[in-house]
Amino acid sequence: METYNIPEIARNVFSVGSKDWNCRMFDSLIPLPEGTSYNSFLVKGEKKTALIDTVNPGFEEELAVKINMVSDLEKLDYLIMNHAEPDHSNAISFILEKAPNALFVTTEKGVKMAKLYHELPEDRIKIIAEGDSLDLGGKTLRFIEAPWLHWPETMFTYLPEDQILFTCDFFGAHTAQGIYDEDIEDLIPFAKRYYGEIMMPFGKMGAKALEKIKDLDIKIIAPSHGPIYKDPGRIIGPYAKWTAGKTENKALIVYVSMWGSTREMVRTIAETLLQEGVDVRMYDLAVSDIGDVARELVDSRAIILGVPTVLGGMHPVALYGASLVKALNPPAKYGVVFGSFGWGGGALKQAGEILAPLKMEIVGTHQVKGRAKEEDLKKVVEIGRELAQKMKA
């Protein structure tokens, strides 16, 4: 007999998803130092039962066992989909097969996205829209469209009787640890990392979603990754700051250096900025966790990129880092680029082209042939001081 912990987060509301303790990479892109969870919630009303979101490939059987421990999967009435990404939607076909009377419930956009990944029985689709609700008997599920968090079809589900907001990826964190937010002291850095990796490019949509839910009475936030918030303010507060693009007096330095020339320049600007009272975070992209970089991008006021030339362009690792920075669209106001080359150069030009679409003012650039000389490092210090002044203003 398998043993499972099935938290009852409110009366007749069960957390039936899975913990993926050892997963170390997500979306073939994001490192997961503490694994993750795929949260799925079963809501039992007096008349009807609904499942909100499902689980990642490989966890379907566990989901079925857990549902059957607290209910009867065969008699499930509704399968609600807040988001079509397979880590939450993968078990849709599995569940619809095991629960022959269950209706698949989502928005019109949700159906379109789900059909990209699953074959859905047409006669079992129930399309809902903003403000619609389902009566389960003593429990109501109300739907709130929250598009682009982080795919076009995303929505939230609200359970007014228990004041629970099911937000899928929004407010999520990649960690398998804990059940409730109170279990993890350093949860917000994890949530911030997740925000940087997944939500930051859609910050404006995030701000709109916050505005939409601001008058809801929320006692519990139940996201689909990481712990459930019994203290919603603990995550809504930081999200208000992050989605507004508020920055700190902090410079994020990301660089690559093969023989130390670029490293000497970024180390010099780091020391200058620290002298000037600027907080500094520095990551060598060749050995760093890109999730840490994403976390620091969320509220850094300046980004400093150090990149040597390799084969006529940027070092490939720095190219990857710079492309990611551009795609994540951080709120940084100021930028600086340093580079080193041996003969023809090319990295600095390419870095400028990549970062151009960001709305950062480039405060300075400096490139050296080989190692930086005394006058080069003086120039780096000058750029650092000018940057610090601008950042304080």
Ligand X SMILES: Cc1cc2nc3c(=O)[nH]c(=O)nc-3n(C[C@H](O)[C@H](O)[C@H](O)COP(=O)(O)O)c2cc1C
Residues engaged in binding ligand X (CB under 6 A): 257-262, 308-312, 340-345, 370
Structure tokens, 120: 């859905």
- List the beta bridge partners of residue 54: none
Q: 195 and 322 in contact (C-beta within 8 Å)?
A: no
In terms of Cβ atoms closer than 10 Å to its own Cβ (0-12, 13-18, 19+), residue 141 is buried
Q: Which is nearer to ligand X, 194 or 341 (CB)?
A: 341
> Cβ of residue 371: shortest distance to ligand X, in angstroms?
7
> Cβ of residue 254: shortest distance to ligand X, in angstroms?
13
Report CA-CA distances (Å) from 79 to 143, 171, 186, 203.
13, 22, 33, 29
- Kindly tell me the sign of the dihedral angle through the C-alpha atoms of 86, 88, 92, 95: positive
Q: Which is nearer to ligand X, 267 or 333 (CB)?
A: 267
Taking alpha carbons only, the member of 338, 335, 324, 322 closest to residue 371 is 338
Report CA-CA distances (Å) from 319 to 287, 312, 314, 343.
15, 12, 6, 19
Q: Which is nearer to ligand X, 136 or 336 (CB)?
A: 336
Q: Which is nearer to ligand X, 50 or 270 (CB)?
A: 270
> Cβ of residue 275: shortest distance to ligand X, in angstroms?
23
> Cβ of residue 322: shortest distance to ligand X, in angstroms?
15
Query: What distance in Å separates the CA atoms of residue 190 and residue 184, rounded to the nearest whole number?
Result: 10
The residue assigned the tokens 């795609």 is 327
Taking alpha carbons only, the member of 205, 196, 173 closest to residue 303 is 196
Taking alpha carbons only, the member of 344, 338, 269 closest to residue 307 is 338
Q: 94 and 119 in contact (C-beta within 8 Å)?
A: no
Q: Beta 164-168 vs 155-159: how paired, if at all?
A: antiparallel
> Cβ of residue 372: shortest distance to ligand X, in angstroms?
9
Three-state DSSP class for 268?
Answer: helix
> Cβ of residue 290: shortest distance to ligand X, in angstroms?
20
Q: Which is nearer to ligand X, 129 or 258 (CB)?
A: 258
Q: Which is nearer to ligand X, 163 or 365 (CB)?
A: 365
Q: Which is nearer to ligand X, 138 or 342 (CB)?
A: 342
> Cβ of residue 313: shortest distance to ligand X, in angstroms?
8
Q: 137 and 47 in contact (C-beta within 8 Å)?
A: yes
Q: Which is nearer to ligand X, 58 or 312 (CB)?
A: 312
Residue 168: left if φ>0, alpha if ψ -120 to 50, beta else—which one?
left
> Cβ of residue 349: shortest distance to ligand X, in angstroms?
12
Q: Which is nearer to ligand X, 110 or 308 (CB)?
A: 308
> Cβ of residue 379: shortest distance to ligand X, in angstroms?
16
Which residue type is seen at 123?
D
Query: What distance in Å separates the CA atoms of residue 90 and residue 18, rounded to the nearest whole number?
Result: 13
